[in-house]
Amino acid sequence: MSESSIHFFSEEIDFNLSDEIDWIRWINHAIKQEKKELGYLNFIFCSDDFLWSMNKKYLSHDTLTDVISFPYSYQPVEGEIYISIDRVKENANALHISFLIELQRVIIHGVLHLLGYNDKTEEEVKLMRLKEEEFLRQAGNFKIER
């Protein structure tokens, strides 16, 4: 599949990525580096309320979250990733980092879930963080500055 198999949408908010093609190349590179084939990915940027209601409805979690991934296929990689822009902003402020860096982390975290990585155990969390950092370091190669 081509890089155009990654699409960005928004729900209940007005949010657009600048330089979408750079984001697409970066995400596609991460998938290829994990030796997976891209089918399609849909990223849906949304509000806290929208993602909270999805968290309750589909995962039975009555909590706010920054990202939810719905895998439809692991090979080729296909799925949807919902990201609360409200949560990303709040997390960035709390961590004293830029919105862009936190958005990169949340996007790649969602992608890693679709690549088969989990974060339920301490060991899984450790591996997930290592993978996040690996791909975040590479973001600058795709003009997504850190």
Q: How does pLDDT run across 27-86, given as a tens digit for each residue?
A: 999 999 999 999 999 999 999 999 999 999 988 889 889 999 999 999 999 999 999 999
Residues 88 and 66: beta-carbon distance below 8 Å = yes
Instruction: Kindly state the helix (H) or strand (E) to which residue 9 belongs, with its residue range.
Output: strand 6-11
Q: Which letter does DSSP use for residue 64 in this model?
A: -
Selected residue with higher pLDDT from 19 and 146: 19
Q: What domains are defined for the chain?
A: 3-142 (3.40.390.30)
Tell me, rounded to whole angstroms, the distance of Cα 27 from its chain centroid: 9
Distance CA 90, CA 47 (A): 12
pTM, full prediction: 0.93
Selected residue with higher pLDDT from 4 and 119: 119
Distance CA 5, CA 113 (A): 18
Read off the pLDDT band of 1 (50, 70, 90): very low
Integer angstrom CA distances of residue 29 from 108, 133, 141: 11, 14, 10
